[in-house]
Amino acid sequence: MLKIDPNVFTDDAISEETRRFNAELSEKLAAGADPWSMDVKEVRTARKAGKGAFPLESLLEDTETFEIEGSHGPIGMRVISPDSGNENARGVFFHIHGGGWRLGGADMQDQRLKRLANVCNLTCISVEYGLSPENPYPCGPDDCETAALWLVNKGPSILTPRGCQLAAKAPARIFLL
């Protein structure tokens, strides 16, 4: 039986580094405009300009993009390869960006995905799903499901000879919807 030590959740268990990070993040969030009071397009524009709560990551030039057909229209796919090349990759990491189905984009995590690709020797695929409100529910989850199924069925033969491994923030949720 799994036992969870409640002491790891006390204030004393929080490291000084985590306290500083949380304080800095809270200060930055409090100083900025409330994203819930802004039009979603304004929030997206601000984030793309690096004016959100987190710093803007620079785009990589050595990415590939392509589209697959989805039931709501074309779905963008962004490929970030390990420096060793896709032909030597151990598998594929399927990335579904965060943002509550209304914010973010497949190109906003290039640096983190490149590090993951190199450290784990995986080809990273980030899906550009349809954001709401322009693409109402269930467009975003449908696009992610379509992209994941494309990746399982066609991706390994195209992207890497060693097969496909799915991992994302919400893969189980996609298939349960």
126 and 155 assigned to the same domain: yes
85 in any annotated domain: yes
83 and 122 assigned to the same domain: yes
Confidence at residue 18, expressed as pLDDT on a 0 to 100 scale: 94
pLDDT of 90-109, one tens digit each?
888 999 998 889 999 999 99
Please count the structural domains in the chain.
2
Q: How far apart are the first and last CA of the chain?
A: 30
Element (H, E) at 6: none
Confidence at residue 163, expressed as pLDDT on a 0 to 100 scale: 45
10 in any annotated domain: no
CATH code, domain carrying 116: 3.40.50.1820
96 and 167 assigned to the same domain: yes
Per-residue pLDDT of the chain (177 residues; tens, 9 = 90+): 888 888 888 999 999 999 999 999 888 888 877 888 889 999 898 888 888 777 778 889 989 999 999 999 999 999 999 998 877 888 889 999 988 899 999 999 999 999 999 999 989 999 999 999 999 999 999 999 999 999 988 876 666 554 444 444 444 444 433
158 and 99 assigned to the same domain: yes
51 and 97 assigned to the same domain: no
pTM for this entry: 0.76
> What secondary structure, in 3-state letters, does 126-173 show?
EEECCCCCCCCCCHHHHHHHHHHHHHHHCHHHHHCCCCCCCCCCCHHH
163 in any annotated domain: yes
50 and 113 assigned to the same domain: no
Confidence at residue 160, expressed as pLDDT on a 0 to 100 scale: 52
Element (H, E) at 89: none
Q: Provide the residue range defining the domain that includes 20.
A: 15-56
Sign of the alpha-carbon dihedral angle for 43, 93, 167, 111? negative
Confidence at residue 40, expressed as pLDDT on a 0 to 100 scale: 92
Confidence at residue 165, expressed as pLDDT on a 0 to 100 scale: 45
Confidence at residue 156, expressed as pLDDT on a 0 to 100 scale: 64
Could you list the beta-strand ranges (E) of the chain: 64-70, 73-80, 91-96, 122-128
Final residue belonging to a domain, choices 56, 73, 107: 56
148 and 81 assigned to the same domain: yes
